[in-house]
Amino acid sequence: MNTCVQTLVSPSAAPAVASDGSARRLPGDLAIWFFILAELLAFGAFFLAYAFARANNVELFNEQQLALDRNAGALNTILLLTSSYLVVRAVQAAEAGQSRRAATWIAGGFACGAGFVVVKLFEYVAKFAAGVSLSSSTFHMFYLILTFFHFMHVILGLVILAALWNGARKGRYGPGNMNGIETGAAYWHMVDLVWLILFPLVYVMR
């Protein structure tokens, strides 16, 4: 708590020092990290709700989980990871002062994210056609709440990536101005991070 209070008081007080002697620095804007923490808490609570609801209903969850498309889920994991990787390359390019090259990397990241959306939409269409809805079973409810909540985050992330792409194309980012791109990237990695738990939890664990 003390650290947090310290943070509240002055984001620029008393720089701690990393092992290599340079100052420790939180990438991106402090505000996004509060947002990310709140989001992680919300996702975490849903993951645990799923896990404990499953514990009370193992057979139903195991049976209906079989109907999920694991190939689509794995493909989506790869798309998100790759997208995250491309965004890291974009941040690195910006840090090296190559804002326009960063734009290209971001475009790649955006394409992967859009791929995720397309795959997910195919998955949803198939599910809805099979009569899956929020009220059709406890498992389906969790499957839809968790994946749809995440899906909305991907869409918001794509909007942010589009804004970053636009900024990078105009040469806005560089070693002296990393705040915007680091902030957007941090959010995008968070979207990736929660999927890394969501995928094994909902699609694979039995």
Return contacts of 103-108, CB within 8 angstroms, 24+ apart. Answer: 103/165, 103/168, 103/169, 106/161, 106/164, 106/165, 106/168, 107/165, 108/83
- Residue spans of alpha helices (H) in 130-178: 138-169
- In whole angstroms, how close is the CB of 43 to other proteins at the nearest point? 8
By C-beta, is 88 or 119 nearer to other proteins?
88
Instruction: Decide whether 114 or 149 has the Cβ nearer to other proteins.
Output: 149
Spatial separation of the C-alpha atoms in residues 119 and 92, rounded to whole Å: 29
Query: Could you identify the residue written with the tokens 């310290």?
Result: 6
User: Helices 70-95 and 138-169: crossing angle, nearest 10°?
Assistant: 30
Residue 16 or residue 129: which is nearer to other proteins going by CB?
16
Q: How far apart are CB 106 and other proteins at their closest, in Å?
A: 14
- Comparing CB distances to other proteins, the nearer of 35 and 114 is 35
Q: Closest distance between other proteins and the C-beta of residue 77, in Å?
A: 5
Q: Burial, 24: exposed, middle or buried (Cβ in 10 Å; 0-12, 13-18, 19+)?
A: exposed
Identify which of residues 107 and 193 has a Cβ nearer to other proteins in the complex: 193
The nearest distance, CB 114 to other proteins, in angstroms, is 18
Q: Shortest distance, CB of residue 123 to other proteins, whole angstroms?
A: 15
Cα separation, 35 vs 98, in Å, equals: 29
Q: Distance between alpha carbon 49 and the CA centroid of its chain, in Å? A: 20
Q: Among residues 52 and 122, whose Cβ is nearest to other proteins?
A: 52
Q: What minimum distance in Å lies between the beta carbon of 172 and other proteins?
A: 9
